A and B are shown apart, each in its own frame.
Chain A
Amino acid sequence: TQLLEQSPQFLSIQEGENLTVYCNSSSVFSSLQWYRQEPGEGPVLLVTVVTGGEVKKLKRLTFQFGDARKDSSLHITAAQPGDTGLYLCAGETFSGYALNFGKGTSLLVTP
C-alpha cells in the first residue's frame, strides 16, 4: 500500500523559475520529513515538520505541513542547478516506527 503520493513525478525547469512539489496522503502522520537524494548517494534530510500548519524555511526552500497532517508541500524559489535531485517526502504514522516514503519527485534545473 502506497501511503504517500508525490506530484509531479518529474519536473524539468530553467534556472530562476519557482516550483512546488506536493506530497499527499489519506493517512495522518505524526511527523513528515523531506529528503533530497543525489545520484549515487543516499537521501539526506532537509526538514522535519511535526505540527499541523507548520511552515519551515531553509534558504530558498519553504516546507508546509497541512493542517490535518495528511499532506505537505515543498516550494523552491528561484531554482538553481544545484537544486537538481530526487526529492522524497516521508511520513511517520502514529502506529509505526519507520518512515513511509513517497515515490519521489525528480527535479532537473537547467542553466
Chain B
Amino acid sequence: DTAVSQTPKYLVTQMGNDKSIKCEQNLGHDTMYWYKQDSKKFLKIMFSYNNKELIINETVPNRFSPKSPDKAHLNLHINSLELGDSAVYFCASSQDITAGNTIYFGEGSWLTVV
C-alpha cells in the first residue's frame, strides 16, 4: 500500500486553467505538506498543515489554495495557471511537527503548463 499517494501523476494544461492535485496519506500522521520542486531540482516548502490547521504558508501566490478536509488529506488547488507553475509538486506527511521527524513523500505530480 502506498503511504502517501497523490493524483494525478502527470498533468498537462493550458495557461489560465484551474487545476487540483489530490493527496492522501494512510500513515495516521498529523502533519501534511506540499513541496514544489523546480527544474533545477530545488525542493521548496509551500504549505504545511497540522491536524487540518495551516501552520506554514510560505511566499506562494494566492492562486495556490490548499485544503485539508481531514488529517489524511491535503489537496492543492491552483487557479489561473501560469507557465512558471510548471514543476513537480510533492505531497508529504510526518507524524507531527516535532523536530527530526521523518517526512514521507509521495511520488510527485508533474505539472506542465503550456
Tell me, rounded to whole Å, the shortest Cβ–Cβ distance linking A43 to chain B: 5
Residues A101 and B43 in contact, CB atoms below 8 Å apart: yes
Residues B108 and A42 in contact, CB atoms below 8 Å apart: yes
Bound: A34/B100 CA distance, A = 11
Total number of residue pairs linking A and B with CB closer than 8 Å: 62
Q: Please, how many residues of chain B have a CB less than 8 angstroms from a CB on the other chain?
A: 26
Residues B103 and A45 in contact, CB atoms below 8 Å apart: yes
Residues A43 and B99 in contact, CB atoms below 8 Å apart: no
* Mask: chain B, 10-27; 1 = CB below 8 Å from A; 0 = not: 000000000000000000
- Judged by DSSP, the binding face of B is strand
> 10 closest pairs, A vs B, by CB?
A42-B105, A31-B100, A101-B43, A98-B45, A30-B99, A97-B97, A104-B41, A45-B102, A103-B42, A92-B99
Residues of A within 8 A of B104 (CB): 45
Residues of A within 8 A of B55 (CB): 97
Bound: A17/B43 CA distance, A = 28
Residues A101 and B56 in contact, CB atoms below 8 Å apart: no
Contact size class for A? 20 to 34
* Mask: chain B, 65-106; 1 = CB below 8 Å from A; 0 = not: 000000000000000000000000010100001011011111
Could you tell me which A residues sit within 8 Å of B by CB distance?
30-31, 33, 37, 40-45, 48, 50, 86, 88, 90, 92, 94, 96-101, 103-104, 106
Residues A99 and B102 in contact, CB atoms below 8 Å apart: no
Residues A101 and B44 in contact, CB atoms below 8 Å apart: yes
